[in-house]
Structure 1
Amino acid sequence: MIDYQLDADGLATLTWNVADRPMNVLNQASIAAFTKAVERAISDPSVKGVIVTSSRPEFVAGGDLDLIRNIRDVAQSMDCSGPVSRILRRLETSKKPFVAAVNGSALGGGLEICLACHYRIVADDPNIQLGLPEVTIGLLPAAGGTQRLPRMIGIKKALPYLLEGRKADPAKAFEAGIVDAVVPSSELLSRARAWLLSAPAEAAIKPWDRKDFRFPGGSPQSPGPIQIFFGASGALLAKTQGNYPAQEAILACVYDGCQVDIDSGLKIEQRQFARLAISQSTKNMIRVLFYDMNDANRLAGRPKDVPKRSFKKVAILGAGMMGAGLAHVASTAGLEVVLLDVSGDAAEKGKAYGAAILEGQVARGRIDESVRDATLGRVIPTTNYSDLADCDLVIEAVFEDRAIKAEVTRKAEAAMRVDAIFASNTSTLPIGGLATVSKRPARFVGMHFFSPAEKMPLVEIIRGAGTSEETIAEALDFARRIRKTPIVVNDCPSFYANRAFAMYPYEAMTMLAEGVNPNLIENAGRKAGMPMPPLALIDEVSVELLYKAMKQARADQGSSYCAQPQDAVLIAMVEQFGRLGRKAGRGFYDYPSDGERKLWTGLTEHFPRAEKQPSVEEVHERLMYSQSLEAARCVGEGIVSVRDADIGSLLGWGFPSFLGGVLGQIDTVGLPQMITVCDRLAQHMPERYAVPQILRDMAASGRTFH
């Protein structure tokens, strides 16, 4: 795993090559091998200096999460993180100079190896990333990252890398002081050798091991850093609501650890890591954000016997916000795009939507003008259906109106190739019904993108009754081609994501109608860790849009429609009060042009407060558990898999990752506890809190989702 070579000049080269893994990772075997190689170099008197590098495309990608996810107690945690922390401290105090020759990305433990070395040289490749992203999966750097980086570049500059998981390319890392030199890839090893051969003896002593060491930018007790800690603590609590312990642990590591010597600081870091490694929130985040997300992105559920489909040209029908966003996404991915609308002006306006995004990227220096021009050149505005003739895929993104969708389906299929796929970007209308007008329902599929399409990473691939497995497989191929994360769901009204997510705003409106204080509702949503409080979210989505969806459901279901508790609130807000949402400047909130949004004072008049208010905990349970119950119903009905339900909840509507997704929440709370609470709520609201049979069966057999 570590190739060891000693040359005639007394320079040892330790080359990472973890051959049994897709990339270099820190695990028990590789740490042991690295420890052996470092000790060999240190103990050999003929070794004058050491180069640490890699023979793989990356330097070292970080810790092996297979090891971390199986930690069950503090002792295991110490056994996991202690050895690498100790060998890096041994390395930097060896009195022999170590240089990191960074040929590829160094993330997490990989960067911590670099920080322990006495000098860092990185190849001049903008695709290389350096950073400490552990916080994004509920962990902290446990091999000295929280101690060395602040001592190296200062507390203020280090905190974004630690608390946000910020990454830097070589140029930015050099500017920040994280690396010492950026050189052409071809010169990486020769420059590392040159530094070792010319390095004075004091170069092998870290600044923080010298008596005259001073923190860059001030010590933790000085006024500047103290203000930073106060500000960071307040901002952190406002952002996380105390739900994500990793950020708090990192801040504690930096604050406490930087007030003592580095050896004591490393012990503090180890203890904080142990606390996180055994926490349920960290286990949840590792599972859903790493393992489940990787499975979804590598299309683990794709039908195996279908050859991979390549795409060169696609068409988007409808150049509104969704269609324009999809055209931009596809063209950015290198595909030719036919953007069709009823008028040339509408189609050109859709292309201009993408042009505005690209102009912003040029202005920020993210792309150059040639990339902008090439991307725009791939978008062909048109009104002519004959332009669909050579497209591999046609996506309908017109209004949620069956008649309009039927019309464009007929026109498109008349012009399309036999092997092309037709996809409907509907958010609520069942695919089986839309496919009845299709002459080839096997090639008809739902692809529900989320708005805005250029930002939202999720797409629901919806299998209609007649959709072939070949079409499902190829739709998945397209989703990855445009860098979206797909989940596969079976057909039903609103499919999975909208059906489960809707419980959050619906429950908020139901409580409002019951007389619950809207401030209590909103604060409970914030405290739960949702991206937005529910009434504000409804305004963003549009009160009118939810109203229209309700009207459409009533029309579709006729006399079988079952009125919902939130219906009366939607009708009143739209028909009586004309409060349509944020775009109209008035919804559940007022949106003054000269200030922040404020809850509409008329809510008190039109939805009088109940004399007895529920606790914050009960409001929290209703907002959050209603989503999990609906997701469990979807799983029980065979609409969605467990993995895709959790992934969809995170990427589709921002369900908190510390809970592990919408089904992960059930495991985290505990199924018996969840059933007890829901049975209590069902006494008053049976239509929403009736526990689905799948959960009762699981509880009876002691099973969990994960």
Structure 2
Amino acid sequence: MSTTPPAPATPPGPQESAQPASFTAPERDTVRLEWDAEEREGAGRVVTLVLDDPMQSANTMNAAFIDSLEHAVAQLVSSRDQLRGVVVTSAKETFFAGGDLNDLLAATPELAEDVFQRSLRVKRALRALETLGRPVVAALNGTALGGGLEIALACHHRIALDAPKARFGLPEVTLGLLPGGGGVVRTVRLLGLADALVKVLLEGRRYRPRQAVEVGLVDEIAADQAELLSRARAFIEEHPESAQPWDVPGYRIPGGAPSHPKLAAQLPAFPARLRQQLNGAPYPAPRDILAAAVEGAQVDMETAAVIEARYFTELVVGQTAKNMIQAFFFDMRAVNSGRARPQGVPARSASRVAVLGAGMMGAGIAHACAVAGLDVVLRDVTAEAAERGKDAVRDVLDRAVKRGRLSAEGRDEVLGRVTATAEVAEVAGVDVVIEAVFEDPELKRKVFQEVREVVAPDALLCSNTSTLPITQLAEGVHRPEDFVGLHFFSPVDRMPLVEIVVGARTGEAALARAFDLVRALGKTPIVVRDGRGFFTSRVIGHFLTEGLAMVGEGVAPATVEQAAAQAGYPAKVLALLDELTLTLPRRIRQESRRAVEEAGGVWPEHPGDAVLDRMVDEFGRAGRSTGAGFYVYENGERAGLWPGLAEHFGPAAGVEEAPPFEDLVDRLLLAPALDAVRCLEEGVLTSVADANVGSLLGIGFPAWTGGVLQYLNGFPGGVNGAAARASELAARYGERFAPPARLVLLAAEGGRFTDAPAAS
């Protein structure tokens, strides 16, 4: 195969406007053209456009790529008469990884014009490719997400390798962005406005190869690399006059343009549904995607591309996208890469796990272990209780089968790995023990004592506790150096986080083994130091008690719930308290208070505590499980807020003004964020990335913030603005909002919360 192009022909007339103007070779060539050695008489040669950044393990849409793409497409346009067709593929394991997130993070409002022009340059190059007048085929040898799929959508035909890990989609909305390389414009024209929005753009779904064919993003599947390229060349031979559907005279968008009466009647439902989903939370990307799709569907391709670029630029230079990129890409990568795992400790795989306690959490943990390929002994005090736990595992697997995510054979295979028992002897030889009984220190010590003589001599010993100090629990374990906390979140099959809690005597080997186990289960591990409530349970408590305090101040309960919704929390504060059961946070508070006072400290009173106590003691309303809480329940379903709240917690006499709504929103966000700073100061948290990821995946801290500490970084005015706002709230509502010393210091230095080493 030759990499030398033929001599340029006379540039074509009608296509010239879309052609990049320069033939100047880029400084770093990330795209190369490989020309077939032989030219078919009268038909020209096939050229393969290979995406291959020599400086990166994956191709990204950075400045070098844009330069290279323009240069390569200019050569193709000028050599069109010698072309029979183009195959677009990649030399990397994945086809294309999407936008360069470092570049996007660095884009400030001052650089908006540069962002806008770069977006247009990509669109112009891809438009020139699809209007080449020759068949262009995407041979997708791996994952094509975001910018990668946008390149593929500019081709006339898309063939995907049927690889197990390959995914296709436009997930930009999950990072606070919209597709900026023509993805909105082309999916609307390819699939129709409704399908493009619902199936691709607004949820950012990632499809497996065969799912992508069903949706219409991919045209066909190839079994291997040879078939992939063979099918690509076959398309070129069979379709010499290829053009995009939208470039064929008379083309109509599937389902009609927004002006079509039928679609026009349906359009109001889209913003209404979006308002309902967002519930007032500050997520600009879905709104901008909807606007770009509807506006772009009413104009020509070139104008639609400009509309898309404008909305893309607005999002790129905004703070929300920066928060979400930092958390969901950079922080998540740091956490999963093992930065918190002790270095130098060899990896060691688990094979057989004992789960002690077959209740909801125990069954969930058993399911996670079995799905990961581990043999599980699920033990409870009676065989009946253990079997009920296994039935709960079966129920989760059955739901997966019903949804098409698991075959019946796969279900039976997973369930076959779970042994339900009441016998201690069945636990013999396991290399991991995970205790998942009730939050009672004596009961937890008892179940470990029962199995200590039969498990492997060096078995990893884990306690699934959400609040009890690991160091305290380790006093009842004969090998405290092998003892570690594993805080799973409910429901285990859907919650991706596990909080690994290191006690005072936990050894590095135990921590490393726990980290490896969590990753083997497909979960995201954060590592925290010991302390009552650790990080996640402690921090979410501040969200809950602040909401309670507002009720005690006489704020209308519906307003409290709306403040939580507009802050972006997925669960409103009073509704979440009902789900948890009001006695749980009260018991945690009572135990924490006792521990503080026994140590000679003074328990800090919180105005929300009295509200919780009255609800339980005076009114007997303990939450959903008891049929009555902050909400009224009918047949187990929520049926509105309890009217008695207004009677018993209405505004105090003489109080004429309710707190400003902005204060309510900021209090619900700053209360947990400020305590996360205290967790850093106390050493409970050792990583900013762990704080952000843990708060997002574990307690539902609003995704638009990027996590508890990124929220402070991204606050208007940065960390300094957050400290100033906290001081304002402290003056109005109490010392619990006083900015911690570390926040004050960072504000004075003009710094930000980061794990990156300080510049020398």
- The TM-score normalised by the length of structure 2 is 0.89
Deviations 1:51-106 (A, max 9, x none): 11223332222122122222222133135423322210110112122111222221
- Pairing 1:14-413 to 2, within 5 Å after superposition: 14-44=49-79, 45-72=81-108, 73-125=111-163, 127-160=165-198, 161-185=200-224, 186-201=226-241, 203=242, 205-240=243-278, 241-413=280-452
Q: 1:574 aligns with which of 616, 619, 623?
A: 616
Q: Read off the aligned partner of 2:235 and give its amino acid letter.
A: W
Name the structure 2 match of 1:663.
Answer: 709
Does residue 1:531 correspond to 2:544, yes or no?
no
Secondary structure of the residue that 1:5 maps to in structure 2? strand
Name the structure 1 match of 2:471.
Answer: 432
Deviations 1:639-664 (A, max 9, x none): 10222111111011111121121111
Distance across 2 between alignment mates of 1:501 and 1:264: 47
Name the structure 1 match of 2:503.
Answer: 464
Report how far residue 571 of structure 1 moved.
2.0
Name the structure 2 match of 1:704.
Answer: 752
Q: Which moved more, 1:235-244 or 1:94-103?
A: 235-244
Secondary structure of the residue that 2:607 maps to in structure 1? coil
Distance across 1 between alignment mates of 2:395 and 2:170: 33
Q: 2:590 aligns with which of 551, 556, 559?
A: 551
Name the structure 1 match of 2:46.
Answer: 11
Secondary structure of the residue that 1:566 maps to in structure 2? helix
Name the structure 2 match of 1:473.
Answer: 512
Name the structure 2 match of 1:606.
Answer: 648
Does residue 1:674 correspond to 2:722, yes or no?
yes
Q: Is the 8 A contact 1:68 1:80 kept in 2?
A: no
Q: Which moved more, 1:403-412 or 1:141-150?
A: 403-412
Structure-2 change in CA distance of 1:261 and 1:473 (3 Å): same
Does residue 1:518 correspond to 2:551, yes or no?
no
Distance across 1 between alignment mates of 2:460 and 2:629: 40
Q: Which moved more, 1:241-250 or 1:646-655?
A: 241-250
Distance across 1 between alignment mates of 2:121 and 2:452: 63
Report how far residue 346 of structure 1 moved.
0.9
Q: Is the 8 A contact 2:627 2:636 kept in 1?
A: no
Report how far residue 685 of structure 1 moved.
4.5
Name the structure 1 match of 2:17.
Answer: none
Deviations 1:116-135 (A, max 9, x none): 11122223445432211111
Name the structure 1 match of 2:14.
Answer: none
Distance across 1 between alignment mates of 2:499 and 2:266: 42
Q: Is the 8 A contact 2:120 2:306 kept in 1?
A: no
Report how far residue 460 of structure 1 moved.
1.0
Secondary structure of the residue that 2:494 maps to in structure 1? coil
Distance across 2 between alignment mates of 1:511 and 1:191: 64
Secondary structure of the residue that 2:255 maps to in structure 1? coil
Name the structure 2 match of 1:618.
Answer: 663
Q: Is the 8 A contact 2:86 2:137 kept in 1?
A: yes
Distance across 2 between alignment mates of 1:155 and 1:234: 16
Distance across 2 between alignment mates of 1:542 and 1:80: 52
Distance across 2 between alignment mates of 1:358 and 1:149: 34
Distance across 1 between alignment mates of 2:679 and 2:637: 42
Distance across 1 between alignment mates of 2:682 and 2:284: 35
Deviations 1:350-377 (A, max 9, x none): 1111101111111222211111111011
Secondary structure of the residue that 1:446 maps to in structure 2? strand
Q: Is the 8 A contact 1:131 1:167 kept in 2?
A: yes
Distance across 2 between alignment mates of 1:683 and 1:184: 66
Report how far residue 200 of structure 1 moved.
4.1
Report how far residue 257 of structure 1 moved.
1.2
Distance across 2 between alignment mates of 1:305 and 1:87: 48
Q: Is the 8 A contact 1:140 1:273 kept in 2?
A: yes
Distance across 2 between alignment mates of 1:603 and 1:627: 25
Report how far residue 576 of structure 1 moved.
2.3
Q: Read off the aligned partner of 1:615 and give its amino acid letter.
A: P
| Displaced runs of 4 or more, over 4 A | 557-561
- The TM-score normalised by the length of structure 1 is 0.96
Q: Read off the aligned partner of 1:632 and give its amino acid letter.
A: V
Distance across 1 between alignment mates of 2:462 and 2:346: 19
Distance across 1 between alignment mates of 2:208 and 2:747: 49
Q: Is the 8 A contact 2:720 2:750 kept in 1?
A: no
Name the structure 1 match of 2:684.
Answer: 639
Q: 1:688 aligns with which of 729, 732, 736?
A: 736
Distance across 1 between alignment mates of 2:66 and 2:750: 38
Secondary structure of the residue that 1:417 maps to in structure 2? coil
Secondary structure of the residue that 1:415 maps to in structure 2? coil
Q: Read off the aligned partner of 1:50 and give its amino acid letter.
A: V
Q: 1:486 aligns with which of 520, 525, 539?
A: 525
Q: Which moved more, 1:524-533 or 1:558-567?
A: 558-567
Distance across 2 between alignment mates of 1:594 and 1:704: 46
Q: Which moved more, 1:599-608 or 1:675-684?
A: 675-684
Q: Read off the aligned partner of 1:363 and give its amino acid letter.
A: K
Does residue 1:503 correspond to 2:542, yes or no?
yes
Report how far residue 522 of structure 1 moved.
0.9
Structure-2 change in CA distance of 1:702 and 1:306 (3 Å): same
Deviations 1:315-345 (A, max 9, x none): 1111110010000011001111111111111
Q: Read off the aligned partner of 1:541 and give its amino acid letter.
A: L
Distance across 1 between alignment mates of 2:462 and 2:637: 42
Q: Is the 8 A contact 1:456 1:652 kept in 2?
A: yes
Task: State the identity as a percent.
Answer: 43
Distance across 1 between alignment mates of 2:47 and 2:719: 56
Distance across 2 between alignment mates of 1:567 and 1:27: 52
Report how far residue 629 of structure 1 moved.
1.0
Q: Is the 8 A contact 1:647 1:661 kept in 2?
A: yes
Q: Is the 8 A contact 1:42 1:96 kept in 2?
A: no
Structure-2 change in CA distance of 1:365 and 1:307 (3 Å): same
Distance across 2 between alignment mates of 1:224 and 1:329: 47
Secondary structure of the residue that 1:196 maps to in structure 2? helix
Distance across 1 between alignment mates of 2:638 and 2:206: 32
Distance across 1 between alignment mates of 2:146 and 2:207: 12
Does residue 1:591 correspond to 2:633, yes or no?
yes
Q: What is the number of residues matched between the two proteins?
A: 704
Q: Is the 8 A contact 1:361 1:367 kept in 2?
A: yes
Secondary structure of the residue that 2:531 maps to in structure 1? coil
Distance across 2 between alignment mates of 1:216 and 1:594: 43
Report how far residue 680 of structure 1 moved.
3.4
Deviations 1:602-647 (A, max 9, x none): 1122223233311111111221111111111111111102221111
Secondary structure of the residue that 2:268 maps to in structure 1? helix
